[in-house]
Amino acid sequence: MKHPKKDLTHPIAGSRWNHIWSGVVGDKLAMMALIIFVFYCLVALLAPLVAPYDVSDPAFMDLLNSELPPSWISGNSQFLLGTDAQGRDLLSVILYGTRLSLTIGICAVLIQVTLGICIGLVAGYLGGRIDNFLMRCADIQLSFSNMMVAIVFLAIFQSLFGMARYQQLAMVILILVIGLTEWPLFARTIRASVLAEKQQEYVDAARVMGISSKRIMFRHILPNTLSPILVIFTVQIANAIVAEAALSFLGLGMPATEPSLGSLISEGFAYMFAGSWWICVIPSITLIILILAMNLLGDWLRDHLNPRAYKD
Amino acid sequence: MKKRELAALIDVSFTLNRGERIAIVGESGAGKSILGFSIVNLISKPGYIESGSIKLENKELTTMNLRQLQEIRGKRIAMIFQDPMMTLNPVLTIGNQLVETIRSHTNISYKDARNIAIEKLHNVQISSPEKRFDQYPHELSGGMRQRVIIAAVLLLNPDIIIADEPTTALDVTIQAEILQLLLSICRDNGVALILISHDLGVVSKVAERTLVMYAGHIVEEGPTLEIINDPQHPYTQGLLNALPQMTIPGQRLNQIQGSMPSLAERPTGCAFHPRCPYATQKCKQEQPQFIYSGVSSVACFMIEDMLNEFADTDKEVL
Mutate one of B33, B64, B104 to test the A interface: name it (highest A CB count within 10 A): B104
| pLDDT for position A132 | 93
Question: How many whole angstroms separate alpha carbon B128 and alpha carbon B124?
Answer: 11
Where do the structural domains in chain B lie, given as residue ranges? 21-207
For residue A296, CA distances in Å to A231, B81, B112, B203, B218 come to 11, 42, 45, 57, 61
Q: How far is residue B288's CA from residue B48's CA, in Å, rounded to a whole number?
A: 26
Does the distance separating the beta carbons of A1 and B169 come in below 8 Å? yes
Which residues are CB-neighbours of B265 under 8 A, at least 6 positions away? none
ipTM: 0.75
Q: What is the pLDDT of residue A7?
A: 41
What one-character-per-residue DSSP string does A66-123 give? TTPPPHHHH--TTSTT-B-TT--BHHHHHHHHHHHHHHHHHHHHHHHHHHHHHHHHHH
Q: For residue B163, which of B206, B125, B101 has the smallest C-alpha distance?
A: B206
CB contact under 8 A, B81 and A2: no
Q: Which residues of B touch A219 (CB under 8 A)?
A: 92, 100
- Regions of chain A short of the pLDDT cut 50: 1-13, 310-312
> Which pLDDT value is given to residue A60?
67
Residue pLDDT, tens place only, A5-22: 444 444 444 556 777 777
| pLDDT of amino acid B271 | 86
A222: chain B residues, CB-CB within 8 Å: none
Pick the CATH number of B21-207 from 3.40.50.300, 3.90.180.10, 3.90.740.10, 3.40.50.2000: 3.40.50.300
Peptide bond into A58 cis (omega under 30): no
Residue in B with minimal Cα distance to A222? B91
Name every chain B residue with its beta carbon within 8 A of the beta carbon of A307: none
How far is Cα B223 from Cα B210, in angstroms, rounded to an integer?
6
Q: How many residues does chain A have?
A: 312
What does the alpha-carbon distance between residue A217 and residue B221 come to, in Å, rounded to a whole number?
41
Using CB atoms, pick whichever of B40, B89, B156 lies closest to residue A220: B89
pLDDT tens-digit profile of B186-241? 998 889 999 998 888 888 888 999 999 988 889 999 999 988 888 889 999 888 88
Report the alpha-carbon distance of residue B37 to residue B131 in Å, rounded.
33
**What integer pLDDT is reported at residue A308 of this predicted model?**
53
Q: Is B239 exposed, middle or buried (0-12, 13-18, 19+ CB in 10 A)?
A: buried
Q: Do residues A256 and A263 touch, judged by C-beta distance below 8 A?
A: yes
Q: The whole model's pTM is what? A: 0.75
pLDDT of residue B266: 83
Q: CA B61, B62, B68, B71: dihedral to nearest 10 degrees?
A: 50
First-last CA distance in chain B: 50
Residue among B40, B90, B139 whose CB faces A208 most closely: B40
Residue type, A170: A
Q: Give pLDDT < 50 ranges for chain B.
A: none
Q: Which domains does chain A show, CATH number per domain?
A: 37-44+103-307 (1.10.3720.10)
